[in-house]
Structure 1
Amino acid sequence: MSSTIEPFEIPSIPAERLALLKQKLQNAEYPNELEKDVGWEYGAPRWAVEPLVKAWLNDYDWEKARAEMNSWHHYHATIQGLHVHFIHEPSTVPNAIPLLLMNGWPSTFYEYHKIIESLRNGANGGQAFHVVIPSLPGYGFSEAPKVPGYGVAKNGEMMDELMATLGYTQYMLAGSDWGSNIGNWMARNCSDRCKGFHSVMPLCLPPSPTNTLSLLWTHPLHVIKFYASIILGIEAVYGNGFEAEELAFANVQSDPESGYRAIHGTRPYSLAYGLADSPVGLLAWMLEKFHNWTDHGGIHDTESLPDTISVDEFLTMVTIYWLTNSMSSSIRIYYEAFHEDETMSTCTGRVNIPTAIIQFPAELAKFPRDWVETSVNLQQYNEPDVGGHFPALETDQLLLDDLQRFGKLLRTEKWIN
């Protein structure tokens, strides 16, 4: 390893800071609500937030979570002047593949805690990996950027440099949320090292010749279907689960779920005061997403978290953001990406390296396979019946199997050596 890399240990919560947290949780002031129960229509309701606040105050044990996290090897690397935190778990299995796993917002590296060892050890006789899980700049234990410009492209450059610093000349990339956004950019711009791209949230443009003229002769049927969908409707042509408004970044009139993106992408500073000062506000802001973007198996409106994500798992995520005061810096990536030059867009250009896509039913944005096929070099595709935006937590075995199958394919076809 380079001399710029130093070991790191997940810290305990300092006594004074822990006392302050408990004081704020104990004396939480809750907002007034309508007398009528409106479920989650207005956001996270008190009946869902308050029990989790009490669990954080009375039951949650950071030291237990810390012991689990410190069972993995953590490091800080100086990448383009910033200290970047990452987990690095090299495999002892022959022919293991370097794997860069990237999460997004409002998640952390801990999203992958259920599959780290299985990926490293090649569980069930599957493909083994040298596992690298970074915290993006401004997330968790990574240093926050001090200047503007840390959008998709900048983050992509830094993650590719991290893999190079670790000595990996070739690697497979997998991502969710911003990890998929950044991964899409890396798959197109770092293909000298990035040799395979696995995504749970593909980002693509419709198969229209106004986007790529060559589609007229490379995928003429896809083009015809797309224009038919304009006349007949997307669901009539492509089936249920695909909606045009999913393309909206911050248009709340066409997509109510994009409200948080509109705030993050335009005025992140103002929101950050409440999220930094109030642990209850931080928890509620995160809970809405862990509720809305997950698969609840038909009981969506009456529970806060799906039964696939435990209270302790969720509170570990929240505590990482609170302990590091990184919520304010993590949401700035929305502003940076929203104002990024169009030439740096994650949807600009085709991904030519081998790509695997797995689309879960409760994912925030899903696209028809036709659209995906015209945007990436699709070598593996899967649509499970269960799961959502955090598959490493919700459906860890499904995700593990999909990653291992794609890794084995990369080896078998010698796309990665």
Structure 2
Amino acid sequence: MSEAPYTIAVPDDTLASLHQKLKAARFPDELEDAGRDYGAPLGDIKRLVARWIDGYDWRKHEAALNAELPQFTRDIAVDGHGTLNIHYVHKKSAVQGAIPLLFVHGWPGSFFEARKIVPLLVARSDEHPSFHVVAMSLPGYGFSEAPKKKGFAIEQFAEVGNKLMLALGYNEYVTQGGDWGYYITRTIAKRYGHEHAKAWHTNFPLYGPPSDTLLRRRTDRGGKGGLERLKWFNGRGRGYYAEQSTRPQTVGYALADSPVALLAWIYEKLVDWTDKYPWDDDEVLTWISVYWFSRAGPAASVRIYYEFSEGTYDGVRKDIYTAAEYPTIPLGMSHFPAELVIFPVSWTEVSGNVVYRKIHNRGGHFAAYEAPESIWVICTRCSRRAVLPLMLSRDTAATTEQRISITSKVEPACSQYRIVHDKRSEVPEFQVTPTVYGRWTALCTVYL
């Protein structure tokens, strides 16, 4: 099946059913002094539900999404899983020779996360490269079809992303990902790097528990603050992970049947995982509505946790963290202060062929939505350094003036950005403990 234009058009009866469920909602009680200690505050949820029933105009926001984001669907064959109909945003730049970029979201995100960054990436400028942006809805998310069988894991999501880019005619491209998007784009870089994927950028830079050599280094500036954040997340913020990685079907009944449960489950993360982002109620409700109106229903989105962790809370994909599996194509990293898993920057030096890195002053887990300018800047600079000279050298349509104009703006490395070449042979593989997060927590305790 070739590319088919897609317009979000939620049926009237589906919208009416949502309102009926909201009006029939039964709320729990709450302790007088609970605050946010026990989870999403009752007052916040009641306010949002009231707005969802009376005042929030889904049709207005639906129309805005359709107007701002050109959307399409296409069938993608996945080895061992048949063919899935994939929804995606595809916004092309008017700039000749723009770089194709695949944007990959995570949970509880969607293609909606790319809304603010798409116009920045496609814009024409003499100061930076432009991009053709593809933001796919992961299978089981948004308006993409969901997998039908067990075993649809990171490799399969990566296969879909690569095949989608090739189907669109982008034989060479770069990627940007956070949350699950980190693991997916990392796998794309490993499996399809050099031939197709030319560089990857992440705002969720992870690294397995460090070697003794790295542990002996002084923690860099800002490292302790990050470890405090990680300690909080491991101790008080990961309950969702335990449920979704062990019994996704069980929690799925609540998410699929109760819009209030879905709202509370995700709203808590939108607040706790961001850097004091000033959420507008309608922003939150649009974010949640994309999940509620999703093609497969919101329960499908959490199964990725089970497949990744192999059905256990402490399950570990060893190949994700071992040095032997690090991709060798250029990697750009963004470090945001309110991210959930934050390591000292020095610990991430061996996570790949890092050619560009930036420590940001503001932003959290949903960086492309919270701080789109920051992600845009790092994508342009990373691509300008790592990709453009290569792609321009192959582009017979690029004029001499274009080559000089763009390549002359490649900045030299400075103290804020460090070139790190492939160090896989120098880094010993860590031994997988019963729980990787347990070791991280122990490290936080030592450092703090």
TM-score when scaled to structure 2? 0.79
- Corresponding residue for 2:178? 176
**Would you say the 8 A contact 1:103–1:176 is kept in 2?**
yes
**Would you say the 8 A contact 1:228–1:237 is kept in 2?**
no
- Counterparts of 1:326-337 in structure 2 under 5 Å? 326-337=297-308
- Count of equivalent residues: 380
Distance in 1 of aligned mates of 2:125 and 2:281: 27
Which digits, 9 at most, give the CA deviation of each residue in 1:12-32, with x for residues without a partner? x32222222112222321111
**Would you say the 8 A contact 1:181–1:203 is kept in 2?**
no
Say which of 358, 361, 376 aligns to 2:337: 361
Distance in 1 of aligned mates of 2:353 and 2:22: 49
Higher mean alpha-carbon deviation, 270-279 vs 239-248, is at: 239-248
How far the C-alpha of 1:195 sits from its partner, in A, is 0.7
- The change in CA–CA distance for 1:314 and 1:126 in structure 2 (over 3 A counts) is farther
Distance in 1 of aligned mates of 2:248 and 2:209: 30
- The change in CA–CA distance for 1:228 and 1:131 in structure 2 (over 3 A counts) is closer
- Corresponding residue for 2:432? none
The residue identity in structure 1 corresponding to 2:37 is E
- Corresponding residue for 2:164? 162
**Would you say the 8 A contact 2:72–2:87 is kept in 1?**
yes
- Counterparts of 1:268-279 in structure 2 under 5 Å? 268-279=248-259
Distance in 1 of aligned mates of 2:44 and 2:229: 28
Which digits, 9 at most, give the CA deviation of each residue in 1:283-342, with x for residues without a partner? 00010100110011xxxxxxxxx31x3322221111111112531000000001111896
- The change in CA–CA distance for 1:44 and 1:7 in structure 2 (over 3 A counts) is same
Say which of 313, 321, 324 aligns to 1:347: 321
What secondary structure, in the 3-state scheme, does the structure 2 residue paired with 1:197 have?
Answer: strand
- Counterparts of 1:402-417 in structure 2 under 5 Å? 402-414=378-390
Say which of 9, 17, 20 aligns to 2:17: 20
How far the C-alpha of 1:186 sits from its partner, in A, is 1.3
- Corresponding residue for 1:127? 129
The residue identity in structure 1 corresponding to 2:3 is I
- Corresponding residue for 2:213? 224
Higher mean alpha-carbon deviation, 404-413 vs 98-107, is at: 404-413
Say which of 65, 79, 83 aligns to 2:76: 79
- Counterparts of 1:129-278 in structure 2 under 5 Å? 129-191=131-193, 192-208=195-211, 223-227=212-216, 239-243=223-227, 246=230, 255-278=235-258
Which digits, 9 at most, give the CA deviation of each residue in 1:83-127, with x for residues without a partner? 011111122202200000011111110111112122112357422
- The change in CA–CA distance for 1:33 and 1:124 in structure 2 (over 3 A counts) is farther
What secondary structure, in the 3-state scheme, does the structure 1 residue paired with 2:390 have?
Answer: coil
- The change in CA–CA distance for 1:322 and 1:412 in structure 2 (over 3 A counts) is closer
Higher mean alpha-carbon deviation, 402-411 vs 325-334, is at: 402-411
**Would you say the 8 A contact 2:94–2:124 is kept in 1?**
no
- Corresponding residue for 2:2? 4
- The change in CA–CA distance for 1:162 and 1:99 in structure 2 (over 3 A counts) is same
TM-score when scaled to structure 1? 0.85
What secondary structure, in the 3-state scheme, does the structure 2 residue paired with 1:107 have?
Answer: coil
Say which of 315, 318, 334 aligns to 2:288: 318
**Would you say the 8 A contact 1:207–1:374 is kept in 2?**
no
**Would you say the 8 A contact 1:104–1:176 is kept in 2?**
yes
Say which of 23, 29, 33 aligns to 1:32: 29
- Counterparts of 1:364-403 in structure 2 under 5 Å? 364-403=340-379
How far the C-alpha of 1:344 sits from its partner, in A, is 7.4
- The change in CA–CA distance for 1:59 and 1:116 in structure 2 (over 3 A counts) is same
**Would you say the 8 A contact 2:249–2:299 is kept in 1?**
yes
**Would you say the 8 A contact 1:358–1:381 is kept in 2?**
yes
Higher mean alpha-carbon deviation, 155-164 vs 123-132, is at: 123-132
- Corresponding residue for 1:67? 63
How far the C-alpha of 1:347 sits from its partner, in A, is 2.3
Identity of aligned residues (%): 37
The residue identity in structure 1 corresponding to 2:379 is L
The residue identity in structure 1 corresponding to 2:101 is L
How far the C-alpha of 1:352 sits from its partner, in A, is 1.0
Distance in 2 of aligned mates of 1:87 and 1:40: 35
- Corresponding residue for 2:446? none
How far the C-alpha of 1:413 sits from its partner, in A, is 4.2
What secondary structure, in the 3-state scheme, does the structure 2 residue paired with 1:331 have?
Answer: helix
- Corresponding residue for 1:214? none
The residue identity in structure 1 corresponding to 2:176 is A
- The change in CA–CA distance for 1:178 and 1:247 in structure 2 (over 3 A counts) is farther
How far the C-alpha of 1:194 sits from its partner, in A, is 0.7
Matched, 1:42 2:42: no
- Corresponding residue for 2:405? none
**Would you say the 8 A contact 2:120–2:373 is kept in 1?**
no
- Corresponding residue for 1:212? none
Distance in 1 of aligned mates of 2:128 and 2:367: 19
